[in-house]
Amino acid sequence: MAPAALVLYLLGLVLAFGVRTLIAWRRTGDTGFRRPDTTAFSAPWWGGLLFTCALVLGLTAPMAALLGLSTTAPPPGVESAGLALMVLGLVLVLVAQAEMGTSWRIGVDEGERTELITHGVFALVRNPVFTGMGVLLLGQVLAVPSVLSAAAPAVFAAAVQVQVRIIEEPYLLRTHGVAYRSYAARTGRFLPLMGRLRSAHG
């Protein structure tokens, strides 16, 4: 299943980053990328480093399997289930990005105010793009089980905790105030009902 896993992973990178950036630029003249703070050991620095490591691990896992460096053989059917999860995760990422429309960004600009998206999959979880990426990486663990594929979602989980809790949520609270707190009080962070913030009244 390593070839299929590699194709799905590369397809995800192309669609979620390359094609989405092109769509954003053609619609608005803006790529959606926001340059992070590169001060060493700052939260954005750690977030960027961890994200990069997770993406590289996710790419090298199926490549290592193709080279015969992965020797773990999963039970019958597990590989197929893993590929199905990868497809599901990718679809969730793409749907969430489409629902964000012109609010789609990679990174945060403290002086910028975009529309708060709360409909569609965002009515279920506040960060469906990250949820979808996590599902894709977990699916890859089943499709090509190895130390590399297992490390990718672990590092990714650390990256999104830094990005969401330390960078994005404080920004959204400052920018959207009560509207975001109310939304976050009823909507889970990465999974439905889990990671909700306390409401302004409680």
The pLDDT assigned to 75 comes to 82
pLDDT tier at 160 (50, 70, 90 boundaries)?
very high
Q: What is the DSSP string of the chain?
A: -HHHHHHHHHHHHIIIIIIHHHHHHHHHS---B-PPP--TTSHHHHHHHHHHHHHHHHHHHHHHHHTT-----PPTTHHHHHHHHHHHHHHHHHHHHHHHGGG--BS--TT---PPP-SGGGGTBS-HHHHHHHHHHHHHHHHS-SHHHHHHHHHHHHHHHIIIIIIIHHHHHHHHTHHHHHHHHHSBSSBTTBSPPPPTT-
pLDDT value, residue 54: 98
Q: With a cut of 60, say whether residue 1 has pLDDT above it.
A: yes
Average pLDDT, the chain: 93
State the average pLDDT over residues 162-189.
96
pLDDT at residue 49 greater than cutoff 90 = yes
pLDDT at position 109:
85
Specify the higher pLDDT residue, 40 or 188. Answer: 188
202, pLDDT greater than 60: no
Tell me what percent of the residues of the chain surpass a pLDDT of 70.
98
